[in-house]
């Protein structure tokens, strides 16, 4: 830890799932702090709870016990509207399976978060600026020629780049990335990781979970998740 | 904004949306067509019964009838709510056409012109339509009065339900034989002469559209019927008095007024010789008087409404299932939308908007298709009969002309609103269920 401003902290997080008659503890008192501008990788074996942790950090799930603080505020104290705004503006998610909407084209998938946050009138008033921002993102991600295509017409790597574009659309403070290369071949995976490195260099805070330590090594800091607890972190330069 | 965009995308790009759209259209189409036809038949049947009787009837089912009816008619005609009245003799008789066999008929003794002012009788005549005054005038022999025969007693119907009217009536005599009763109910004449027989010329036919009436009623001039049934003489009697109210008078109010006048009349004339016959007399609205016929039809209509209520429930369930499938297949979309900040209420509104659009467009298409089908229903039936000899109602049995096809816009509006409501209900439950899940749960489950 470098003593930079903390963008997000997690204190004593617990989470368990019911599997038939047994209770499976996934997180057993996880503590975590994410500094502004860092690229943090959380590594763990399959089923170690890393995706669960990421979902809790992004308010897609709630812990059984423990606190997540965003800019010092306890997520549990957020109203429904504030949680929606948090997911819409403060964090951007990139999922392993992309999770794009097939009914929308690439450009529309990218500016979907802006459509969610704006009503019809505001959308029409700002649509020129919004579309330009989405096109710029696609251009940066090398997908400007694919703007009118549907997700099912794209390769896995292209879909993941669209998902990154969508996650960045509202300029979130924190990018939460779940196994971003899990579905991609190594060359495409490398290219995707390159995008994250580039974003991080530009100041973007990123928390990435992966089971692959080689991929984790691309991050600035690596922490291990085992038996539901965080191990000692490794800071890379 | 995402709601507007996705509503239209879901509608246009999902095949299952077309199924939902089609199922709504089909249900609206079926309900609109069947309700219109059945409602039309019932309304038509009621109208015909109303036109047959007038607004109110003071009468008895007794074949003896009741006396002093002329005095009561004067009382009635002095009222501001009564337009006119018509006395009617009703009895049973044997009728022989030419040298054919005798058949049992109902005899109605009426003053054709007066009766036409109270009922729609004048419009049912074929040769004297709109001119009932001459309806009973002798046709072939000035010494023999005319009679009007229910059209089904006189002419056969073809397979299309049409009667083969001739340019003019054939010269055929009708022999009517009645049993005359005295005021006390005894046979009018002792010994062997207990049957009054009289020959008439058929001067016209009456087509009321009521199969039972057209197939069994012979109308005679009032005085002749009175004589044949033994109701003539110094203490003249009639079976009933048909009454027409002035425009704007409600049936209930008019009938209550007539009932009160009748009670007063009975009190005032209670001491008279034949006042004992008053006890059999009832005051009824046209609906009450014809209830044995109308009740059956109304029961059918009630059953139809119950059946359609069940069909409505089934429709709601079908639409519910279709929407449940759509929404459950979209659970991942719900998770994606929630992960980028869409609210639960927004998700519910998205699917309700989708359901509303499917409901509105589906019912619009259903109503338009139903309207077009109804507009051509008689041509379609004609074509089916011509090519396959299929007829919805056998016109040789049912007194139905064209199949009713006039849609009631209030009924259509109710059908459309119900269809939209069914869609909204069908979408509300699964979308609410989906929106209640945590975003991560929606993302992880393939289907709800």
Closest Cα in chain A, distance from residue B35 (Å): 39
For residue B54, tell me if it sits in a domain.
Answer: no
Q: B220 and B303: one domain?
A: no
A113/B341 Cβ within 8 A: yes
Percent share of chain A, pLDDT over 90: 45
Q: B81 and B23: one domain?
A: no
For residue B288, tell me if it sits in a domain.
Answer: no
Nearest beta carbon to residue B2 from set A62, A89, A116:
A116
Q: B182 and B239: one domain?
A: yes
Taking CB atoms and an 8 Å cutoff, what residues of chain B touch A95?
Answer: 443
For residue B370, tell me if it sits in a domain.
Answer: yes
Domain boundary among B280, B312, B343: B280
Q: Is a pLDDT exceeding 80 seen at residue B278? A: yes
- pLDDT digit string, tens, across residues B371-408: 999 999 888 888 888 888 777 766 666 666 678 888 88
Q: Which fold is adopted by the domain A6-17+24-226? A: Rossmann fold (3.40.50)
Q: B111 and B216: one domain?
A: yes
Nearest beta carbon to residue B443 from set A62, A99, A101:
A99
**Pick from B314, B283, B319: nearest CA to B20:** B319
Q: Which residue of B has its CA nearest to A81?
A: B343
For residue B52, tell me if it sits in a domain.
Answer: no
Is B319 within 8 Å of B23 (Cβ atoms)? yes
Contact B191/A at CB under 8 A: no
Q: B259 and B349: one domain?
A: no
A119/B1 Cβ within 8 A: yes
Taking CB atoms and an 8 Å cutoff, what residues of chain B touch A166?
Answer: 340
* Residue B234, C-beta contacts closer than 8 angstroms, at least 6 positions apart: none
Q: Is B253 exposed, middle or buried (0-12, 13-18, 19+ CB in 10 A)?
A: exposed
Chain A, window 170-229: residues with a beta carbon less than 8 angstroms from a chain B beta carbon = none
Taking CB atoms and an 8 Å cutoff, what residues of chain A touch B341?
Answer: 84-89, 113, 116-117
Domain boundary among B256, B280, B304: B280
- The DSSP call for residue B290 is T
Q: What is the ipTM of this complex?
A: 0.90
Rounded to an integer, what is the distance from CA B159 to the centroid of its chain? 23
Domain boundary among B280, B304, B326: B280
Q: B221 and B108: one domain?
A: yes
Query: Could you tell me the end-to-end alpha-carbon distance of chain A, in angstroms, rounded to an integer?
Result: 12
- pLDDT digit string, tens, across residues B134-151: 888 877 777 888 999 999
Mean pLDDT (whole number) for A82-87 = 92
- In three-state secondary structure terms, B97 is strand
For residue B172, tell me if it sits in a domain.
Answer: yes
Q: How many CA atoms lie within 13 A of B172 on its CB side?
A: 18
Q: B253 and B136: one domain?
A: yes
For residue B212, tell me if it sits in a domain.
Answer: yes
Q: B359 and B270: one domain?
A: no
Q: B140 and B163: one domain?
A: yes
Number of Cβ atoms within 10 Å of the Cβ of B260? 11
Residue contacts between A and B (CB atoms, under 8 Å): 73
Q: Is a pLDDT exceeding 80 seen at residue B44? A: yes
For residue B56, tell me if it sits in a domain.
Answer: no
For residue B322, tell me if it sits in a domain.
Answer: yes
Q: B173 and B92: one domain?
A: yes
Q: B342 and B436: one domain?
A: yes
Angular region, B223: left φ>0, alpha ψ -120 to 50, beta rest: alpha
Domain borders along chain A are: 6-17+24-226
Nearest beta carbon to residue A116 from set B332, B340, B344:
B340
Contact A100/B at CB under 8 A: yes
Q: Say which range, A95-99, B102-106, B140-144, B212-216, has the weakest mean pLDDT.
A: B140-144
**Pick from B364, B278, B288: nearest CA to B68:** B278
Number of domains in chain B: 2
Q: B102 and B182: one domain?
A: yes
**Pick from A47, A53, A49, A16: nearest CA to A32:** A53
Q: Which domain holds residue B383?
A: 2-47+294-444
- pLDDT digit string, tens, across residues A170-199: 989 899 999 888 777 888 888 888 888 988
């Amino acid at each position: 830890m470098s003593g930079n401003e903390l963008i997000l902290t997690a204190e004593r997080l617990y989470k368990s799932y019911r599997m038939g008659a047994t209770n499976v503890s996934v997180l057993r008192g996880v503590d975590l702090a994410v500094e502004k501008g860092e690229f943090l990788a959380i590594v763990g074996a399959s089923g170690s709870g890393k995706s669960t942790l990421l979902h809790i950090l992004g308010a897609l799930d709630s812990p059984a016990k423990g606190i997540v603080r965003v800019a010092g505020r306890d997520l549990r104290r957020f109203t429904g509207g504030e949680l929606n705004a948090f997911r819409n503006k403060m964090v951007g998610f990139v999922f392993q399976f992309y999770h794009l909407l097939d009914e929308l084209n690439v450009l529309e998938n990218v500016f979907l978060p802006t459509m969610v946050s704006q009503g019809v009138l505001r959308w029409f008033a700002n649509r020129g600026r919004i579309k330009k921002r989405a096109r710029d993102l696609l251009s940066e991600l090398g997908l400007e020629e694919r703007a009118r295509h549907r997700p099912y017409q794209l390769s896995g790597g292209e879909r993941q780049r669209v998902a990154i574009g969508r996650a960045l659309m509202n300029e979130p403070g924190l990018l939460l990335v779940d196994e971003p290369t899990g579905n991609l071949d190594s060359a495409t995976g490398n290219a995707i990781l390159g995008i994250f490195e580039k974003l991080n260099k530009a100041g973007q805070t990123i928390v990435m979970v992966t089971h692959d330590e080689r991929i984790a090594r691309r991050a600035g800091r690596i922490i291990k998740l085992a038996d539901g607890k965080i191990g000692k972190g490794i800071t890379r330069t | 904004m995402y709601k507007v965009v996705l509503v239209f995308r879901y509608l246009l790009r999902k095949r299952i949306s077309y199924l939902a759209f089609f199922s709504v259209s089909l249900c609206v189409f079926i309900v609109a067509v069947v309700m219109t036809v059945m409602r039309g038949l019932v309304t038509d049947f009621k109208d015909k019964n109303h036109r047959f009787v007038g607004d109110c009837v003071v009468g008895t089912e007794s074949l003896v009838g009741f006396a002093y009816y002329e005095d009561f008619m004067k009382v009635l005609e002095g009222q501001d709510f009564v337009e006119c009245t018509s006395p009617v003799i009703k009895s049973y008789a044997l009728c022989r056409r030419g040298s054919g066999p005798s058949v049992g008929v109902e005899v109605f003794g009426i003053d054709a012109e007066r009766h036409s002012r109270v009922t729609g009788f004048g419009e049912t005549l074929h040769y004297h339509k709109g001119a009932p005054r001459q309806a009973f005038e002798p046709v072939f022999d000035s010494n023999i009065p005319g009679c009007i025969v229910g059209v089904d007693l006189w002419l056969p119907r073809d397979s299309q339900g049409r009667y083969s009217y001739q340019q003019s009536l054939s010269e055929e005599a009708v022999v009517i034989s009645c049993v005359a009763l005295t005021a006390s109910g005894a046979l009018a004449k002792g010994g062997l002469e207990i049957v009054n027989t009289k020959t008439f010329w058929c001067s016209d036919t009456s087509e009321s559209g009521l199969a039972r009436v057209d197939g069994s009623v012979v109308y005679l001039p009032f005085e002749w019927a009175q004589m044949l049934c033994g109701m003539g003489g110094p203490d003249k009697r009639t079976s009933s008095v048909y009454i027409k109210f002035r425009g704007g008078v409600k049936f209930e109010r008019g009938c209550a007024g007539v009932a009160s006048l009748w009670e007063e009349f009975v009190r005032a004339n209670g001491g008279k010789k034949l006042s004992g016959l008053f006890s059999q007399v009832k005051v009824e609205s046209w609906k009450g008087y014809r209830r044995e016929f109308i009740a059956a039809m109304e029961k059918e209509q009630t059953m139809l409404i119950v059946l359609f209520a069940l069909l409505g429930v089934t429709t709601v369930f079908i639409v519910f299932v279709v929407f449940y499938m759509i929404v459950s297949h979209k659970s991942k979309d719900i998770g994606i939308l929630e992960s980028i900040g869409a609210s639960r209420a927004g998700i519910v509104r998205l699917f309700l908007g989708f359901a509303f659009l499917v409901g509105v467009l589906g019912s619009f298409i259903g109503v338009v298709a139903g309207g077009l089908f109804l507009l051509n229903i008689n041509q379609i039936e004609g074509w089916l009969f011509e090519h396959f000899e299929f007829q919805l109602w056998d016109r040789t049995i049912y007194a139905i002309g064209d199949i009713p096809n006039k849609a009631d816009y209030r009924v259509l509006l109710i059908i459309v609103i119900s269809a939209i409501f069914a869609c909204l209900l069908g979408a509300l439950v699964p979308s609410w269920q989906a929106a209640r899940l945590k975003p991560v749960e929606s993302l992880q489950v393939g289907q709800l």
